[in-house]
Every structure is written in C-alpha cells, then in structure tokens.
Chain A
Amino acid sequence: MAIDFSKETGIGSSGGAPSGSSTGSGKFSPSVITGIIGGGVGYLFGHWLGNAIASGYQQVSGSGSNDVATLLGYLFATVGWFIGLGALNYPLKKMLGIDPDFSEPELGKGMSKYFKYTVDHKIVGVQYLFGMLVYFFTAGLLALAIRTELLSPTTHLWGPDTYIEIVGEHGTMMMMMMTSVILGPFGNYMIPLMIGSKRVAFPRLEAMSFWFTPLSYFILLSALWQGGFQSGWTSYAPLSLQQGVGQDAYIFGFGLQGLSMVCASTNIVATIINYRAPGMTWSRLPILGWSMISLGFTMILSIPVLIDGLYVLALDRSAQTAMLYDAHGGSSFLWENLFWFFGHPEVYLLAIPGFGVVAEIIPVFARKPVFGYKTSAAGMIGLAILSFFVWQHHLFQSGMNPDMRPLFMLTTELISIPTGFIYLVGMGTLWKARIRLTGPMLFMLGVYFNFLFGGLTGVYVSDVPINVTVHGSFFVMAHFHYTIMGGVIFAFFGAIYYWTPLVTGYQLSEKLAKIHFWSMIIAFNSTFLPLFAVGLLGQPRRVFEYAHRLQHLNQWVSISSYVLGLSLMFFVVTFIWQLAVTRKPAVRNPWGSRSLEWAVDSYPPPQHNFRQVPVVLAGPYEYADPDALPIADIVMENKDRAPVGVDR
C-alpha cells in the first residue's frame, strides 16, 4: 500500500521533461554567477540612487558617510541577487499570467546543481551544510584574532577600533548564522526523509532561505572593510546610531538572515504538519521533528521582532527619525526590549535543535527507546514557550523595570525545568542500555557534559544578586559559549559524523572522528572553563585592556583556543580529504538505525526520496522490543550489519 501524491502536486513526479527553467544547464542559465552579477548591478544602482537622494544631507556632508546609499545599495543588491539566481522567475511568470513550468527536471550527477537555486530539499541541505561550515569557520577565525589580542593586557596587536570591530563581527556572525546550523543542513535534509515525504511543503521558500545566507554573510563580512561597527552583536542604541556605514551592513546582514530563518521555519513547520506519511502519527514523530517544530514556531514568532527593531534602527540612521534617541523623544530602552525579545528566544533557537539531535541519536547507540518520549517533546516545547518570557534578564542592571526583576528571575529559573527534562531523557535512555561509544555518540555525550556547566552557571546569572557581579563579564560569555558551542556545535559535528554516510554515500573514519572529539572537548573546556574565573575576578566583556593579575589565565585561554582551532582544522582537513579523495563507500544503515531516512534505496537518497510514499507501521525507537513491526512497509536490506562503531 502506498500513496502517490505526485499527480496532485506536480513536484515529486519522476521523469518530468527538462525545461529552461531555473534548473536548466545552459551557459547563461541562472546560477550563483548570474546571481553575483545581478547583485553587483543592483548594488551599484542602489548606491547611485542613494547618493542622488542624500548626498546633500547635512549629516552626510559632515561625516562623509552616506547611510542611505549603503542601505539602498544592499536593498537593490538583494533584489538583483535573487533575479540573477532565477528565484523570481516563478512569481514573475505567475504575475504575468504565464503558467509556470511545474516540472522538475532530473538532476544530473555533477556539482553544478549545488550552485543553483533548486527546489530539492536534499540539495538545499547540502548547500546549507557547506555554507554553515564556511560561516562557522570564518567567525571562528575572528575568535582566534580576539584571543590573540588578549594574550597581553597592555601590548596591543590590533588597534582598539580594529579589536572591537572583530569582536562585533565574530558575535554577530556566530549568532545570526549558527541559528540555522541544525535546521538548515539536517532539518531540511532529514525531516522529509524521516517523516516519509517525497518533498517539503514550500520548496521555493526553503531554497530562498538558503540563498539569503551567502548574501547576508558577504554583507556582514564587508563591514570590516568599511570601517566596521563598534557596537557589538547587541548594537545597543544610541551607540549604533553613532556608527559609520559598517552598522548598515550589520542591519542588512542580520535582517536578511532573519528573513532566511522565517522562510526556513515556515517551510519546516508546514512540512512536519502536512507531509507526514500515513501512519507517521504525532507519537511516532522522531524527536528531531519535535525539536524542529518547536524551533520553527519560536522563529516565526520571535524573528519578526528583530526585523522590526532593525527597521527602526535603519530609519533612525538614514531618515533621521529619533525612535531610539532619548533627547528627541525616543528611547534607548526600546531597542534593548526589541532586541532581547528576539535575542532570548534566539538562544533557545540555538539550544533546541541541539537537544533534538541528541535525543535522536542517543537511542540508536543505546539500543533502547528514547526514555520519556513525551517528556522530551514537552521539554522542547516548554523551552520554546518560556523563552518568550525571560528577555528582561539581560537587562537586570539596566534600570528598566527594576521592580519586575523577581518575576523575570522566576521565569528564567523555571527554564531549568524543561532543560532538566532533556537530562532526564538522556539519563533514562542510558539506563540499562547497550552503549556503543561511536564518534557521533561521543559528541552527544559531550553535549551533556558541556551543557551541564552552561546550565548550572545559568542559575548564577539568573539570580539577580549574583547577576550584579557577573552581568557583562566574561562569566556570562563563558556561560553562553558553554550552552551554544558546547551544546549545538557539538551536536552539529556529531550529526555530521552520523549522517554523512547517508548524505554523501561515503563513510567517515571512526578513528579520526574520535581524535577530533577528544581534542575538541578537551580544548573547548580548557578554553572556556577558566573564563568563568576570569569573569568572576572582574574582567568585563569586549575589552582590549585588562588587569595584569588576570594575564596568566587569559594566556592559558588563548593558547587553549589555538588548540581548539587546530582541532577544528583537523576536522576540516580530514572531512574534505575523506569526501574528496579517499571516498570509502558507506555500508547500508551503518549505525543500525530504525529511522526512515536510512531506508531509502541508495546513499545519497534518490531525487524523490522514496519510490512510493511509505506507510509507517511503528515508532522509530523500538530497538529493545523483539515484537516490534518494522518502521514502514519498506524492505530495508540489512545484509552487512553495522561493522562501524563497535569498540573491539
């Protein structure tokens, strides 16, 4: 029994006639190259227009920097980029009354499809994977530049202006790009496979969401060459009103990334709700699906507030409104509220997918059903809901709403309860399990180890009296690096090791994965654990000068951060080498998972995922039930049983 939806939707039908639409292969067919040309032309036009409008403005002639031109340049660059990519062909044809070509051509074997605007969720997933790695390593190199400056309390390698620009760039890029680090590569790629769908709900929206990211990456990065922004990733007004055109790059880069997240989350939520295969009930949905749906709703509700705030900031900077400027009737508190109303859910946008991956992967290597399935889903939904009620804890010392502090202390501490659920699930799943310490499993256990420090220090920062000491210090900085890097980034690398055989068809070496894991977790803890002490001893964040008595601790941290950099470099080299050069073919279902994504015909999966839409017969975690039905009506070949990951 199988249901074929391809007739109704058009997309998903195999063997459609190739056409000259966005996936064509001619020399001038849309690709990243035409996108760049379109973006360049758009930028030049916007910049010219802005100069024509605003070059006579008083603040422009005085400062020599024209925010109107820069913002309009980015705006038209965005439009030109998407026209060049061919992303607007479909809506434009629709508007002109031409019936768009729905057929989806068969994808070739070559690499060129990865540099085009395509509607296949697996290609978008791969694009995201490599995009995220590039963004992560760019921002990571900036972190090493920060640590290099902090080797000495008084001798300065960078000027104070350069230093603070690097700090802001590192923070902004990490926070805005890494929000999609699981959703982009693994949500987009795995969720349709896991729920037995041949496609996603809004493939064009999904593709759009990816193609926003290179643009926002380059715009944000370009700030450095335009004088940067000295206001950090939080960009509190009125400091952000004072900056040069680098701040416009922040506004546009962050704003485009926000649009990307809205597109991506809308698609993933709609896909999970509507495209589950028959029998894939809510109680059989993989935990990753629950994490993606919590994440998606949180994004849809919180990101628009950020975009709104950025819009207000852009107006204050270009059109001379004064919404964020106290002396003219605005308020600097407005930005702080808008920013953190997005900014705190943002932190959970980073944590929730990490938890999803952990709860998804641990049962495979524990050979047990996930402990407290409902608790685990409830934990993530609880985090998502509570994340909207805590934003003022970033502003405990701001003087804004001081009498509300006990309330926000309470809501913040309540977050420990759903976070605790995640620990309960992990501990329960390991109880009387049969644990295989494979590369991916080590990374999942690493998430629990690291996040424990992040979670416990979260209690410190949420306690208002302790917050007086630690607010704005390196203690807070260490705290959120433990939750984000120690959490979602470890989960990300674990997920890479886990799903690469499926995504690429090549097996990664377990030995190299373990070397990467151990070097990374030791270097990570050696980098960030001392920073708790540095913060408690009085070092504020984002400073280029600090007390002499803290020099040894800072040097220890800097050197550890280089080791961490080497460990990540080791990953890059071995990962690329194994994918491009050695290319060991993946065995079928290498980890012995029951989940549907491994039941596809080939690795990587064929273009339309499944020959027929599968009918789901049982849950994905029935590892310990001898009477459990197979997950779906697909015969999963299992001749070569898991040679990988057994510790001999």
Chain B
Amino acid sequence: MSKGARAGAVIVSFFAVIGLLVWAVVGYLRTSPPTVSASTSSTPGVVNLTMQTDGAVGVGPHPNWVGYFVQDANGGWHQTTLIQLPANSDIHVTLYEYDSGGTLRNNVWSQVEGTVGNVAYVNGVAESIVNPNTSTGNGIAHSFNVPALGINVPMYGVSGSAKNFCSSGPCNLSEAHTTMTFDFKTGAAGTYRWQCFVPCGLGFLNGNGGPMTALGYMAGFLKVV
C-alpha cells in the first residue's frame, strides 16, 4: 500500500471506531423513562398528582416487575418514576395501589410521616400508622418515601387472590385496589430521590434488586422546579 492509501485507511478506520463508539453509547443509554408533570388544580398553590402502583407493569423490557404509572394532565398513564412538581406548593396525591402486600423489613416504615398532618387517607379514612400485622388489609405492598423531604407513606396491599386482581399494568379502577390520598409540601427547587421501602423486587435477594434498583419502576426522582 502506498503512503496515501495507508493514511486514507487510517482515517477511515478512525471514523469507523468513533461511529462504533457513538452507536454503542446510544444503545447503552436505554431510553430513559419520561418525566411527567403534575396537573394543576382549581385551587391556587395546589397541584394534583395521580399515580398507580402495579404488581406487574406489563410493558417494556421487564413486564413482570412492579412499578409506577403516573397520570399526565390529559389523563394518559406513563410508566415512569420521574415526576416534575412546582416548588413551594401543596401537592395533592392520589395513589391507586393494585399490588398485594406483605411484611416490612423494618416496621418503622409503617408510620406515615412528612405529609400534611402526618396522616394519609386509606380509602377515605385518615390513618397515621399502617399496621402490617393487622387483618385490616393484606399487609403492606409498597411505600412512597422521599428521604430529603422526610416523607414516608406506606400503602396497604390488596388480596392477591381477589377475583379482579390486576395482573398487568396499567390497571383501571374496576380492578381491586386501595386508594391512598395525602398532601405534602414541596420545598425549594431541587431534585429529590424517592424509593419504596417494602422489599418488592420479587426473585431478588432481600427483595431489593431488580425494580428496586431501576429508574421507572420503584426508584425515581421528584424534580421540583
């Protein structure tokens, strides 16, 4: 090969390597879950956030993992855990919980904390402790926990043997569910991580693998702007 041909070959392979790198990186950075904004309400300073927790999301690469769907302003459901909220506002959360429940690894998470009045309404009834050992519910299915805001809201599970048990998300209200409502205040702008404290990664040691360690399932951010 002549010098010119060698130079050409080097330059071509250089760009081929760059191309390969870009392709690999793009392929690796899997499509990130979308960020959904909470919808505004008629009351100034208050926004509504509607979410559902499903025993199996039914979509995406891991259809049998537990995960969240968040409702956008038009009523559409998105499988995500990235939620955009306005700063210094009152967030009115409605959470439909469709998964079955169990016990907690640490019972301290059965206390409702950090919400307005330190209570959450379970099917309309105010509760400050969701006791995993009572027969009221079917154990605790999940919890909504934002460490930096001090928020912890445990959610009762539904009976796993219910006839209308939702086996694949997004679920609808005709299926067995627990409705949780609570209010909390967002503080200053910032990114706040939130997670679940019920070991719900089925098939993973301590229940803390899989969906517990993936954005879009049981790990997410509140993007307060």
Contact = CB atoms under 8 A, between A and B. Distances in A.
- A–B direct touch, CB within 8 Å, in complex? yes
Interface of A: 58-65, 141, 154-156, 158-162, 224-225, 227, 230, 238, 241-244, 325, 573, 576-577, 580-583
Interface of B: 3, 6-7, 9-10, 14, 21, 27-29, 32, 62-65, 190-191, 193, 201-206, 208-210, 213-215, 219, 221
Nearest to A165: B28
A161 B219 contact: yes
Nearest to A57: B203
Contacts of A230: 213
Given A154-B190, A159-B215, A581 B203 contact: no
A158 B215 CA distance: 11
B28 A581 contact: no
Contacts of B32: 159
A162 B214 CA distance: 9
Nearest to B32: A159
9 contacts: A59-B204, A62-B202, A65-B203, A155-B191, A158-B29, A160-B193, A225-B28, A242-B205, A244-B210
Contacts of A576: 10, 14
Contacts of A64: 62-65, 203, 210
A63 B210 contact: yes
A244 B10 contact: no
Given A58-B203, A65-B210, A580-B9, A162 B191 contact: no
Contacts of B9: 580
Nearest to A240: B205
Nearest to A63: B203
B64 to A, nearest CB: 5
Nearest to A230: B213
Given A62-B202, A160-B193, A162-B29, A141 B21 contact: yes
Give the top 9 A-B pairs by smallest Cβ distance, nearest first.
A62-B203, A63-B203, A62-B202, A242-B209, A59-B203, A242-B205, A241-B205, A159-B215, A581-B7
A580 B10 contact: yes
Contacts of B193: 160
Contacts of A573: 14
Contacts of B209: 63, 242-244
Contacts of A154: 190-191
Contacts of B64: 62, 64
A58 B21 CA distance: 38
A63 B213 CA distance: 13
A485 B199 CA distance: 40
A162 to B, nearest CB: 7
Contacts of B203: 58-65
Given A242-B209, A580-B6, 13 more contacts: A60-B203, A63-B209, A63-B210, A154-B190, A159-B32, A160-B193, A161-B215, A238-B206, A242-B204, A242-B206, A244-B210, A580-B10, A581-B7
Contacts of A141: 21
Contacts of B190: 154
A583 B10 CA distance: 13
A285 B205 CA distance: 53
B205 A325 contact: yes
Contacts of B208: 242
A225 B24 CA distance: 9
Nearest to B63: A64
B32 to A, nearest CB: 7
